[in-house]
Amino acid sequence: MRATIREVAREAGVSASTVSRALSTPDMVNATTRERVLRAAERLGYAPNRAARGLITGRTGNLGLIVPDLTNPFFPSVVKGVQAKAREADYAVFLADTDEDPAAEVGLVRALAKQVDGLILCSPRTREEEIRELTAHTTLVMVNRRFGTIPSVVFGNADGMRQAIAHLQALGHRRVAWVGGPRTSWSTRDRVRGLRAASSAAGMELFVAGHFPPYFEGGVAAADLIIASGVTSVIAYNDVMALGLLSRLRDRGVDVPQDISVIGIDDIQMSAMSSPALTTVSLAKDQAGRAAVDLLLTLLLQPDSVRNTRRELPTQLLVRGSTGVARTT
Amino acid sequence: MRATIREVAREAGVSASTVSRALSTPDMVNATTRERVLRAAERLGYAPNRAARGLITGRTGNLGLIVPDLTNPFFPSVVKGVQAKAREADYAVFLADTDEDPAAEVGLVRALAKQVDGLILCSPRTREEEIRELTAHTTLVMVNRRFGTIPSVVFGNADGMRQAIAHLQALGHRRVAWVGGPRTSWSTRDRVRGLRAASSAAGMELFVAGHFPPYFEGGVAAADLIIASGVTSVIAYNDVMALGLLSRLRDRGVDVPQDISVIGIDDIQMSAMSSPALTTVSLAKDQAGRAAVDLLLTLLLQPDSVRNTRRELPTQLLVRGSTGVARTT
DNA sequence: ATGAAAGCGCTAACAA
DNA sequence: TTGTTAGCGCTTTCAT
The predicted-structure confidence for A178-219, as pLDDT tens digits, reads as follows: 999 999 999 999 999 999 999 999 999 999 999 999 999 999
CA B232 to chain CA centroid, Å, is 31
Q: Give the residues of chain B that fall short of pLDDT 50.
A: none
Would you state the pLDDT for residue A329? Answer: 56
Would you state the pLDDT for residue B177? Answer: 98
Contact A70 B79 (CB under 8 A): yes
Handedness of CA A3, A7, A8, A12 (dihedral sign): negative
Average pLDDT over residues A167-184: 97
Q: Is a pLDDT exceeding 70 seen at residue A303?
A: yes
User: Which of A141, A98, A97, A99 has the alpha carbon at shortest distance from A116?
Assistant: A141
Suggest the residue from A239, A273, A285 to mutate for an interface test with chain B (most B CBs closer than 10 A): A273
Average pLDDT over residues A142-156: 93
- For chain A, the average pLDDT equals 92
User: Which of B240, B188, B41, B53 has the alpha carbon at shortest distance from A270?
Assistant: B240
Q: Sort strands A279-283 and A315-318 into parallel, antiparallel or unpaired.
A: antiparallel
Q: Find the nucleotide nearest B29 (Cα to C1′).
A: C1
- pLDDT digit string, tens, across residues B267-316: 999 999 998 999 999 999 999 999 999 999 999 888 777 666 889 999 99
Task: Please report residues contacting nucleic strand D, using a CB cutoff of 7 A.
Answer: A 13-18, 21, 28-30, 32-34, 52, 55-56; B 1, 4-6, 16-17, 19-21, 23-25, 46, 48-49, 52-53, 55-57
Would you state the pLDDT for residue B110? Answer: 73
With bands split at pLDDT 50, 70 and 90, how would you rate the model's confidence at A102?
A: low
- Provide the strand spans (E) within A127-244: 139-143, 152-155, 175-180, 205-211, 233-236
- pLDDT digit string, tens, across residues A53-89: 999 998 999 999 999 999 999 999 999 999 999 999 9
User: How far is it, in rounded angstroms, from Cα A301 to Cα B1?
Assistant: 17
Contact A83 B96 (CB under 8 A): yes
* Length B51 CA → D15 C1' (Å): 28
A173: Cβ contacts below 8 Å, ≥ 6 apart: A204, A232, A233, A261, A326
Would you state the pLDDT for residue B308? Answer: 62
Contact B47 A2 (CB under 8 A): no
* Length B28 CA → C1 C1' (Å): 8
For residue B2, what are the β-bridge partners?
none
Tabulate helix, strand, coil % of chain A (nearest 5). Answer: 50, 20, 35
Q: Is a pLDDT exceeding 80 seen at residue A27?
A: yes
Would you state the pLDDT for residue B111? Answer: 74
Contact A243 B273 (CB under 8 A): yes
User: How far is it, in rounded angstroms, from Cα A271 to Cα B208?
Assistant: 30
Q: Find the nucleotide nearest B32 (Cα to C1′).
A: C1
Residue ranges and CATH numbers for the domains of chain B are 62-155+286-313 (3.40.50.2300), 157-284 (3.40.50.2300)
Q: A 294-323 residues with CB below 8 A of B?
A: none
With bands split at pLDDT 50, 70 and 90, how would you rate the model's confidence at A129?
A: confident
Would you state the pLDDT for residue A307? Answer: 61
